[in-house]
Amino acid sequence: MTIEKFSALGLAEPIQRALDARDHVTPTPIQARAIPHLLGGADMLGIAQTGTGKTAAFALPILHRLSRRRPMKGRRDPRALVLAPTRELAIQIGDEFQAYAKHLKVRHTVIFGGVSQKPQVGALARGTDIVVATPGRLLDLMNQRHLSLGRIECLVLDEADRMLDMGFVRDVRKIVGALPADRQSLLFSATMPAEIARLSGEILDDPVRVEVTPQSTPVERIDQSVHHVEAGAAKRALLADILADPALAKVMVFTRTKHRANRVAEHLNKCGVDAEAIHGNKSQGARQRALARFRAGEARVLVATDIAARGIDVDGVTHVVNFELPNEPESYVHRIGRTARAGATGAAVAFCDSSERTYLADIERLMGRRLQVIGDAPAAPVRPLQAKRTKPAGENRRRRRRPRRRAA
């Protein structure tokens, strides 16, 4: 059965009214396929990337369920729990619940670390129906006995592969162990590594599998190019020059380090380009203010590191600039996917200095094509990956005597 309109799903009237107010008429593929199963109470394994509409795919059935069932008498403990890997994603999910529950008497609370727990504890004490949380802070509040999960009817694990990347799977298992066995469980992940497959087997009961791929690949939708330019001042000057074009209206710039993100944002502001930086060393308040200014169009450029940008979904990004190429080619695909959302077109520009040519080769190998070179190509050919990573003999000897420690 193909659902072509939200009105055909049979959602509660207050939810349908909220959808109408937001001009949400036609569900995305994952919404059309997932919502009927979820309304029927099935567990679900969803394979979907950000930007596919999966938040509404689980938020709408949860709100419908809560609107149809009165909470038990006594303390108003949460009945739905959504776990997200990052603070930014948790806040975005909370905003979606708030919008869709506008005409419902349903409360939600967003819980995350990096800020004082006092307002979150206060919200839990007043009673809440839905908790959207990052695992670490949720466990802290559970251990302090500020909330009980004994009445949870629905669990959502969002971006499970990111949970794995960030080391949260053990925390997730502890949280799941505190939930009632009789519940509806949903797990969403863009990829399905072995550990997440095991986790899904532990928490899901005979799940419906819904797999939604993007409408087309980034290669097909995004105009990609590369500039060969040396690091430092030359890259900063090129970025300012490119941003002189007003067609770059809403731009995300990626760096590998927090320090570089600050330097790039400072340089752009000196050049008259309103830019914000977002990275792990920023306070939660500063990160949210920067993101809000970028969303509202007050800041034209958001400079971000990969970790800080995880879970951020901003509409209308026209261009992505890889000021520094990532050392993992998959991160490049994730970065450029911030533009060309919902079937729109977009552009991705990469800066490649001489130390990054092996990264570029890895990216092009993954993409199955070469990026269009703008300006002069490097004089020397790119060496094979193995040769590029070979270090001078002296350095190798030093490393054999004292192995390099991994970064924290």
Where do the DSSP E strands lie in 167-326?
184-189, 208-211, 222-228, 251-255, 275-278, 301-305, 319-322
Q: Please check whether residues 243 and 149 belong to one and the same domain.
A: no
Q: Kindly give the confidence (pLDDT) of every residue in the chain, 408 residues in length, as a single tens digit, with 9 standing for 90 and above.
A: 567 899 999 999 999 999 998 888 889 889 999 999 999 999 999 998 766 789 999 999 999 999 987 766 667 899 999 999 988 889 989 999 999 999 999 999 999 998 899 999 999 999 999 999 999 999 999 999 999 999 999 999 999 988 888 889 999 999 999 999 999 999 999 888 889 999 999 999 999 999 886 544 456 778 999 999 999 999 999 999 999 999 999 999 999 988 999 999 999 999 999 999 998 788 778 888 998 999 999 999 999 988 666 667 788 899 999 999 988 887 888 888 888 776 677 899 999 999 999 999 989 988 888 999 998 776 554 444 443 343 433 434 333 344 444 443
Structural domains in the chain (count): 2
Q: Residues 203, 243: one domain?
A: no
We report the CATH number of the domain holding residue 87 as: 3.40.50.300
Are 180 and 244 members of one domain?
Answer: no
Strand order in the sheet with 301-305: 275-278, 301-305, 251-255, 319-322, 346-352, 222-228, 372-374
Give the whole-angstrom CA distance, residue 46 versus residue 59: 14
Indicate the burial class of 356 (C-beta count within 10 angstroms; 0-12, 13-18, 19 or more): buried
| 404 in any annotated domain | no
Is the domain of 237 the same as that of 195? Answer: no
d(CA 5, CA 11): 11
Helix (H), strand (E) at residue 154? strand 154-157
DSSP annotation of 255 = E
Residue 197 makes CB contacts below 8 A (sequence gap 6+) with: none
Last residue of a domain, one of 211, 229, 248: 211
Range of the domain at 379: 218-389
406 inside domain: no
Domain co-membership, 232 together with 281 = yes
The verdict on 100 and 150 lying in the same domain is yes
